[in-house]
Structures are given as C-alpha cells and as structure tokens.
Structure 1
Amino acid sequence: MLMVFFQVLTPEEAFAAIDLPILGLLFGTMVVSAFLERAGVFKYLGKLLSWKSKGGKDLLCRICVVSAAASALFTNDTCCVVLTEFILKVARQNNLPPQPFLLALASSANIGSATTPIGNPQNLVIALQSRIPFKAFLFGLLPAMAVGVCVNIAILLFYFSKSLSPVNHQEEIPSPAGDVIFHRFSQANMSNHHLSSRYSNDTVDAVLQGSFFPTEEVHLENPRSNIAHGATLTDCLISQEKDGSVEGGNTLLWNTCVYFVTIGMLVSLLMGVNMSWSAISAALILIVLDFKDAQPCLDKVSYSLLVFFCGMFITVDGFNKTGFPSLFWELMEPYARIDTISGVVVLSLVILLLSNIASNVPTVLLLGARVAASAAAASPSEEKRAWLVLAWVSTVAGNLSLVGSAANLIVCEQARRAQFGYNLSFLGHLRFGLPSTLVITAIGLLLIRV
C-alpha cells in the first residue's frame, strides 16, 4: 500500500508484481499437506520415531533423518508444526533433555527442505524463476542434503553426547498423564485443538497399557454410558470403536486415495509437468474425491502467508525501483562471481547474512536474478549452479540463529506452549547453529551437482 501511496509503483505495477504461479504452487502444497495430515501420515512418522528406539542417540538420529526426508515432501514448517509436541512427549517419557531433539528437528527440517522445490517457500521462488525441472533440482541438491544431515547428526552428538547417554531406570521420571495427550495443530494458526470425542485404536491401546489417564478433556460420545452399569472406561472406549468399525473401511479407502494422489503429484513433478498446475490439480482432486465440505481442510491453509507473499512481491519490486539493490550488487559482483572459489565464498557469506537479516525469501527475490545473470555472463553452464547455490545457502542459513527461519520459530513457540513446555533460548540455539551452519554450508557447496 505504501509503495502505491508514495507513487513508487502504480496500482497496475503492484498487481503485476504478484507472481501467481508461486502463490498457486504454495496454495496447492498446503492443501495437499492438510489432507495428508488428516490421512494420518504424520502419525505414522511419529510412530516411526519411537518404534524400537534404543535410547537418546538413536532417537536423535531418527528425528534428523525423518524430519529431513519429510520436509523435502511436505515442507519444513508443516513437519515442525506436527512433530514438535510429540518429540517433547517422548523426551519426557524417557527422562531426556528436550533441547537436542528440538534442535535436531528444526535444523534437519531446514536441511532436508533444501532438496526439492516444494520443501520451502524460497525454493518455490527459485524453481519457478530459474525454470529448473523438479528432477534436476532434486538430484542437484540430494548429495548435499544427505551428507549435510549426517554432518548435522555428528555435530549434535558431539554437543550433546553426555546428556543423551543412558540413565538408570531407577532415576527415570514416570510420564504424567498429560504428556500422553496428542494435540493437533492448524497450519494456519498453530493453535491447539481439544481432543476429538472419537478415539482411535492408539487411544484404546494406551488405555489397555495403563498409559492414558482421563482428564477434563475426555468426553464420551454416549452420555448414557455403561459406567452406570459397572463398565470400565476401557469398555466404553472399545464399544465406541466397534460402533465406528463400518467407517474404518471408508477411512482406509480414503487414506489410500490421498496417498495415491500425492504420489501421482510427485511423479508428475519428476516428469517435468508444470509444478503449479500439478499441485493445484492434486489439491482439487482430493477436494472432489472427499465428497465432504472442504472448509476444514481449507481452513488449514495459511492465508496470511499467501497475503504476506503478495505484499513481499510488491515491496521487493518497489525496492528494486529505488536502485539500491542494483547499486549493492554492482559493488559486490566483482568479488562474488560463481566461477571462482573466493567468489562462491563471498556470495555464500552475503546470502547467509542477508537471509538472517532480511529473511531468506526476500533475499532470494532480491539476489536471484542478479546472481543468475552474473553466472550466465561468465558461463551459460554456471547459471543453473548459481540457482542451486542460492537455494542451498539461503535454506541452510535458517539454522544460523533462532530467528533465521520460520521452522525454528515454530519449534520454539510450539515447545513453549506445550504442556510441560520448554523454552529454547536464542543463545542456546546460536551456540549450536553458528558452527553447524558454517560447516554444513561449506560441505554442501562442494557436493552440489549440475
């Protein structure tokens, strides 16, 4: 609004600055992620983290690998939203400090999201502006991501080896009742929702194992329950599950459809089909196949993020018209050429700093076209490498400080709000984030494939 008010841009120029394909791709991936969450994919990821876990170090390694892989497919923010409280619960149940696991989740989610165009917002911008196919983007950064996650695990184990060592079972603190309660988070507002009045098999299993205790949030569907006739809470819950057994088959069929549509979307992306249309088509197919009101899933779309992107496109376009970005790049370009080692180092440091000062998406919007043009002038084959370097460095830069990426802030806020929550401090994150970011960025730059 200010850009138009001060006549930096005309209203027509402001509307023209909005990149609709990026908004379409972002909207489509958020809708698909909402349906995947409803289909229970993140519940299965949570089970995978704790299945036959062999202690703190094993759990930390699993968190790094699972969050990195999931973030490449479902975006880093989504994974951090749905996995943070589960990780806090598991850490408390095993009498382990939450800090290393929270850092593992946020840092690995950022690293993993660098691999694909749908992993994070800045990669969406890079993929559509550079027109690099999904497959080329994936295989160009996959080696850097794989090694980066391994290095991240090694650094975490080095920092927290003592605190992750096994403890005496006599010293373990039994998990309070509240710890076992799952809370689901909306992608739009990350607010806690009360437990559903329906209970899954996991809840019944928890009751049978004695690890679930009723709280004030527990509501039975049938107020005239059999408790009056001497039945136990377990009997009532099992009775409710039997009543919903007919729905179980429909749920399984629906979940299968969601997985197949998602796989179809990923295959289309790998085949080079337009990314925006692939994501929007997958979202539309899921809405149609659901045969229900789509409002609950559409409510999980972060419309504030879409509006933020619109404003950012306009702001960056107006800022470019002031001439300051061009002047800055003219001063930096001789020292930040992609065809020399020193140039790559200088360029990476500039991206790291700007991504933590101005955020990574504005940095990509401001530098992307200029870095690519400079690389193309040196050698046409270097243009693709320049885009991939920008994607890698701007994403891993989010691990440098707590405010470096939205994923970090989501983990911090979710951990603080959770029952028996934990405050992740800025300095506590920086002590790990600074060396980790520098090392992983440097190693990844050597492994980017063109």
Structure 2
Amino acid sequence: MLTTIVVIFLIVYLGMILGGLPFLQLDRTGVALLGAIALIGVGALSLEEAVAAVHLPTVILLFSFMVVSAQMRLGGFYDWVTHKLAALALGPAGLLGVLIVVVAALSAVFSNDIVCLAVAPVLIDACQKRRLAPTPYLLALACSANIGSAATLIGNPQNMLIGQTLGLSFDGYFLDAILPVSVGLLACWGLIAWQTRGRWTDGAALVPPAALHEARTEAIAFDAWQTTKGLAVAGALLVAFLVAPWPREHMALIGAGLLLMSRKLHSRKMLGLVDWELLILFMSLFVVNHALQRTGVTAHAIALLAAAGVHLDQLGSLFGVTFVLSNIVSNVPAVMLLLPLAHHPMAGTLLALVSTLAGNLLIVGSIANIIVVDAAARRHIDIDWRGYARVGVPVTVVTLAIAGIYLALRLHLATG
C-alpha cells in the first residue's frame, strides 16, 4: 500500500508541474481529484478519513469571499473603477502608478484572480481609447494583483489556507506584511515604468472590430445599490475580523448568505462566478497530502534533508524551498506541502509572502497571470513567456529581496 500511495502522490504532483497529464484531457484540478478518488478506491483512505482530511474552515472562507467578489463583479464595480482610472488626467507613468495601487488594494480584500478577470478586458479597451500600449498596464495588473494580495490573509487562496491552519492574527499579519508589500509595489511601478520609458504608445494601434465587440459584450453596467451591498458586507467582515471573537469562516459565510438573498441578482449568477474548480483542487490536495503524511514518508524525507544540512524548519531554508516549489507545482500545492514545517512564529508570514510574490516569476506561476495573458490574447495582444519574464523576473527578484530583508530584520529584532 505504501508504494501505491507514493506513486499516486507523485503522479498528482507531476500533474501540478505539467498542468495536466499526457494523453488525458485533465487539468490540475482533474489530476488532483483523480488522485483523491484513486486513494479512496484502493483503500488507502476511507470516505470518512478523506472527508476529515479536508480543512473545511479554509474551504468555507474561500467560498464565501468568492461570493463577495461575485457580488462586486455583477454590480459592475470593477468595470466602473477601471473606467474611472482611465479617465484620470494623468500621464502614462502616473496612470500606471494609480493602477498598481488600486489593483493591489482591491486584491488585498477580494480575490486577485477575480480582480484580474474583471479588470483586464476593460483595461485593454481603455488603453486603446487613450492610444496607450496596453502591455505594460496588463503586466502591471498581474504583478500588482499578486503583490497586493499578499497584504492580507484573505487576498489569495494560499494566504487563506495559511491563516486558517496556523490561526494567524488578521491584523498581526497585515501589520507584518504591509511594509514589504508597499515597498514591493513601488518597486514594481519603478521597474515597469523604467522598462517602458519612451515607448508608452508602442503597439497602441486600434484592435480589430471583432475584439472591440467582445469588449462591449463583456462590460457590466454599474449598479450602485449592488455595489454598495457588496462593499458594506466586505467592510463589515474586515472590521469583524479585527475585533470579533468568532471564527472568520463563520462570519464570512454569514456575509455570503446575506448577499445571496437578493431580489435582483439570481443566485444562479452569483454561484456561477464561484471558482468551483479551485475549491475541488483544494479538497483533493488535502486528501492526497494527508494520505502521504500518514505513511511517514514525508517525515523520513525531512529527516534525510536535515541530515544533509537542509533544515526545512529554519526560515532561511523554508524561504528558498517555498520559492522553488511555488514555481514548480504552483503556490497552493507548495504551501500545502510545507505547512506542516511551519513551526517558527514567523513561518506563516514567510510562507504567505514568499509563495505569493514568487507567483510573479513566470506566466504559469499564478492563475492571475494566466487570466491576464488570456484576456490579452482574446484582444489580439500577444504576451509570450519572454515578454512576461522581462517584467516578471526582475519584479519577483526585487520583491522577494525586499521581503527577505524585512523578514531578516524582523527576526533580528525579535531575537535581539
């Protein structure tokens, strides 16, 4: 049975690396789900054990904020914000800076993936109208959404998982993360503005009529009432997370329930915007990782690495391994693998910052990156891996260096 479990685990994580499996129409979610089914099918876990392996508070929190983000999207909030940004009387570099700040703030509260999905097509259209090259702004959208989402424990799925599993303080983490995130956003703006200097209008030709028609059909009219409801619930949840003693997932679920009780927005539309595939990926990986941990293989591997001088429970080693794994298997699976090693008081903050910032390295490092690149392709704007890496690599290196220096200083002050 041990061999079977290890083989299934390796196949699942090979699928995480490749994005699927050869000769099969499976994406990462399909591979993880198939692995969980196989483990139950061969008797490695009973159904009851598989259900118990799922960290339900994380899944509930993630689902709840997907509903809140769906409310904001259907209320036309993201489209409205993007149009307002594009109308500002600013130069290209100034507009880039405001875009980065606003996207980062939105991503810290709402899902960074949803923000990119809603903003990207409207941003492209706005750039075309202002005769600006859309590529620098699209790359800024992806990078700032990732960086901004690192500021809170609800900004992205891996941060939710870390916060819920380790029981991190919402305000404590924010106070830890806000400085490296803010400096990282400034560095992101500086790098993109420097790379684009003198070329703000390159490639700003009008898109084909078919693409413009697609942009119009995707636009959502602004609904002040629906947007106000969503903002009120999101604001109330943030305050509750700071002062209320109740579990965050309970409060978030109540907020989602209130939003689903609408006389205008049908629940089918709201739930249709929930990323069910991501929820299934989470639950399946919980099952796969739990099965492997029960065998003792992971503990043995950690002991072997420690004997070789690589102590994964130390912050330096954890920093490097988190960065590497996040770009091999993506950040959520990497965090799931490394969470059992998060014993140091600062390990949770390190995992959240490094796994999120590492996502900017390459297109495949983050779902938000893929969403932006796909949106650009639908408008006949080509952002290949080289074009993305020219921005993503330096942004990742600089922001991780900022986070590393900050964490080292925090550790020095704490131990000194």
TM interval, shorter chain, is 0.7 to 0.9
| Amino acid of the structure 1 residue aligned with 2:131 | N
Residue among 258, 263, 276 paired with 2:249: 276
User: Partners in 2 of 1:282 and 1:109 — Cα distance?
Assistant: 23
Structure 1 CA distance, aligned partners of 2:68 and 2:297? 39
User: Amino acid of the residue matched to residue 354 of structure 2?
Assistant: V
Q: Is the 8 A contact 1:18 1:314 kept in 2?
A: yes
What is the Cα deviation at residue 332 of structure 1?
A: 4.1
* Aligned residue number for residue 228 of structure 1: none
* In 2: Cα distance, 1:425 partner to 1:147 partner: 27
1:43-54, aligned counterparts within 5 Å? 43-54=79-90
Q: Which structure 2 residues correspond to residues 105-124 of structure 1 after superposition, within 5 A? A: 105-124=141-160
Structure 1 unmatched ranges of 5 or more: 185-192, 203-250, 376-382
Cα offset, 1:90, TM superposition = 2.4
Provide the secondary structure at the position in 2 that maps to 1:403: helix
3-state SS of the aligned residue for 1:80?
helix
Partner of residue 321, structure 1: 294
Supply the distance in 1 between the matched residues of 2:302 and 2:196 (Cα, whole angstroms): 41
Residue 195 to residue 131, structure 1, CA distance change in 2 (3 Å) = closer
Deviations 1:143-192 (A, max 9, x none): 1111110011111122222312x78xxx98567766665748xxxxxxxx
- State how 1:165-184 maps to structure 2 within 5 Å: 173=205, 183=215
Query: Any idea what SS the aligned residue of 1:163 has?
Result: coil
- Give the gaps of 5 or more residues in structure 2: 1-36
Compared with structure 1, are the counterparts of its residues 112 and 254 closer, same or farther at alpha carbon in structure 2 (3 Å cutoff)?
closer
1:395 corresponds to: 356
Q: TM-score, normalised by structure 2?
A: 0.81
Report the secondary structure of 1:396's partner residue. Answer: helix
Residue from 388, 399, 414 that aligns with 1:440: 399
Displacement of 1:139 in angstroms is: 1.4
Shift of 1:316: 1.5
Q: Aligned pair in 2 of structure 1 residues 318, 162: CA closer, same or farther (>3 Å)?
A: farther
- Quote how far apart the aligned CAs of 1:371 are: 2.7
Retained in 1: the 8 A contact 2:67–2:271?
Answer: yes
Percent identity over paired residues: 32
Q: Counterpart amino acid of 1:75? A: S
1:291-328 deviation line (CA, Å, top 9, x unaligned):
66422111111112211211111111123234443233
Distance in 1 separating the partners of 2:48 and 2:279: 19
Deviations 1:207-244 (A, max 9, x none): xxxxxxxxxxxxxxxxxxxxxxxxxxxxxxxxxxxxxx
Q: CA deviation at 1:336?
A: 4.3
2:236 to 264, 275, 298: 264
RMSD (Å), alpha carbons: 2.6
- State the alpha-carbon separation in 1 of the partners of residues 204 and 322 from structure 2: 45
Q: Which amino acid aligns with 2:197?
A: S
Q: Quick check: 1:75–1:119 contact (8 Å CA) kept in 2?
A: yes
What secondary structure, in the 3-state scheme, does the structure 2 residue paired with 1:301 have? Answer: coil
Give the structure-1-normalised TM-score.
Answer: 0.76
The amino acid of 1:355's aligned partner reads S
Q: Indicate conservation of the 8 Å contact 2:293/2:299, yes or no.
A: yes
Matched, 1:350 2:321: yes
Distance in 1 between residues matched to 2:134 and 2:224, nearest whole Å: 34
Give the structure with the larger helix fraction.
2
2:107 alignment partner, one of 51, 63, 71: 71
1:364 aligns with 2:335: yes
1:414 is displaced (CA, Å) by 1.5
Measured after TM superposition, the shift of residue 8 of structure 1 is: 2.8
> How far, CA to CA, are the matches of 1:44 and 1:133 in structure 2?
33
Q: 1:94 to 1:331 in 2, by over 3 A?
A: farther
Q: Give a deviation string over 1:260-308, Cα, whole Å, max 9, x none.
A: 2221111111224421112111111122254664221111111122112
Structure 1 residue 91 and structure 2 residue 50: aligned?
no
What's the CA shift string for 1:338-374, capped at 9, x where partnerless? 7xxxx544322211110111111111111112132xx
Q: Distance in 2 between matches of 1:148 and 1:336?
A: 28
Larger Rg: 1
Q: What is the alpha-carbon distance in structure 2 between the residues aligned to residue 310 and residue 337 of structure 1?
A: 25
1:6 aligns to what? 42
